[in-house]
Amino acid sequence: MEPLEKLRLLGPATRYEPAEEIGGEGPMDVPSPDLSGCVYQAVMPGGRRIALLKTLLSSACERDCLYCAFRAGRDFRRATFSPDELARLFVQLHRKGIAEGIFLSSAIVGGGLRTQDRLIATAEILRRRYGFRGYIHLKIMPGAERDQVEAAMALADRVSINLEAPNGRRLSRLAPHKVFERELLRRLRWIHEIRRQMHGSRPSATTQFVVGAAGESDLELLATTAYLYRHLGLARVYFSPFRPQPDTPLEHLPPASPLREHRLYQASFLLRDYGFDVEELPFGPDGNLPLAVDPKLAWARRHLIDAPVEVNRASREVLLRVPGIGPKGVQRLLRARRQARLRDLSQLRKLGIAVDRVAPFILLDGRRPVRQLSLWPL
């Protein structure tokens, strides 16, 4: 099989692996139909956008995860790159200006250790033989050894390992032969320890949950997410909505709601960027977030309607809890109020703040701002 034909099979398969791509945007238009579904407009950890090639090293898998399109025994056409073959193909695409970075994952064939060696070998060829200095995201395989994790981190700008579920009990419903603590979570702990020991540039780390196939609640997912952010320094947690795959044991289950995925991301950003604790999130009796409302807005309706925030005096931490004010808006607001008191919504509008969302929850110089009442109830 020619390399481009392999890429045509293995690149689109990474749609099951959310990574750095901009939310809501699909693959980029590229010159060759062979690359359709392989190259994404991606946002780097620092905010820069690049064309990112996403591919598997192999779709041949010896594991039998109950939900997975690549599970052992499933009948579909598989392909495998050698490390040298994939590195050479990527460099050709890079020199043509088609791809600036690479996201590299793999199904597990020959064991997690052997698969990890092949991922590392691909990155080593790119860095050392071809002198590539651009962006590399490497997956860490279940059961990888610590020295392999260190080797991957020395080569990559980002590493990740998929936890798939928030705890061992839920993982057993998705992947009964994977061990949550020993095979997966321990690798994230190693990544955190190694990052603290590294000098100079340190790769960021992420993980992914499969949402909606194991009966897990939002509370379970977000409690684990909070732990990963606070204690293991993860840059991002991804939520991959379950999609039933034909010829898999879970093909009878319904797909997960995209709106649930959206609410989980909103809540995870509250934990990571806005200073919220899990206990403050507006879970229902079933442990799930309300689908009808943004979790930040739901919190504000409970806590700020009768205790609005004085914009001229509130701390950064308090301002971040007001709907319509994000981290960048807080910085602009703090700078502006050092110059003059804020008395009118027009001043906030000039700062790029969503005044319609902010107005019900703030005071401006001791007064509730004059605003047009919404046709919809708070």
Check residue 25 and give its pLDDT.
Answer: 53
pLDDT digits (tens, 9 = 90+) for 295-334: 999 999 999 999 999 999 999 999 999 999 999 999 999 9
Check residue 194 and give its pLDDT.
Answer: 97
**261 Cβ partners below 8 Å, 6+ apart?**
211, 239, 240, 241
Give the CATH number of domain 1-160; options: 3.90.78.10, 3.40.50.2000, 3.30.750.210, 3.30.565.10: 3.30.750.210
Check residue 48 and give its pLDDT.
Answer: 85
Evaluate whether 163 touches 208 at the Cβ level (below 8 Å): yes
Check residue 375 and give its pLDDT.
Answer: 39
User: Is 70 exceeded by the pLDDT of residue 36?
Assistant: yes
Confidence of residue 376 (pLDDT cuts 50, 70, 90): very low
User: Is 50 exceeded by the pLDDT of residue 56?
Assistant: yes
Check residue 31 and give its pLDDT.
Answer: 57
DSSP bridge pairs for 27? 40
User: Is 70 exceeded by the pLDDT of residue 373?
Assistant: no
pLDDT digits (tens, 9 = 90+) for 101-146: 999 999 999 999 999 999 999 999 999 999 999 999 999 999 999 9
pLDDT digits (tens, 9 = 90+) for 61-91: 999 999 999 999 898 899 999 999 999 999 9
Query: CA–CA separation, 210 vs 229, rounded Å?
Result: 18
Per-residue pLDDT averaged across 9-35, rounded?
A: 74
Q: Is the pTM of this model over 0.85?
A: yes
Query: What kind of architecture, by CATH, is found in domain 161-291?
Result: 2-Layer Sandwich (3.30)
Check residue 20 and give its pLDDT.
Answer: 86
User: Is 50 exceeded by the pLDDT of residue 159?
Assistant: yes
pLDDT digits (tens, 9 = 90+) for 285-297: 999 999 999 999 9
Q: Is 272 helix (H, G, I), strand (E, B) or coil?
A: helix
**270 Cβ partners below 8 Å, 6+ apart?**
276, 281, 295, 296
CA dihedral 270, 229, 203, 38 (to 10 degrees): -60
Domain ranges of the chain: 1-160, 161-291, 304-363
Q: Tell me the CB-side half-sphere exposure of residue 83, using CA atoms within 13 A.
A: 17
Question: Among candidates 271, 262, 269, 270, which has minimal Cα distance to 290?
Answer: 262
Q: Tell me, yes or no, if the two domains 1-160 and 161-291 fold the same way.
A: yes
Check residue 43 and give its pLDDT.
Answer: 87
Check residue 37 and give its pLDDT.
Answer: 86
Q: Is 309 helix (H, G, I), strand (E, B) or coil?
A: strand
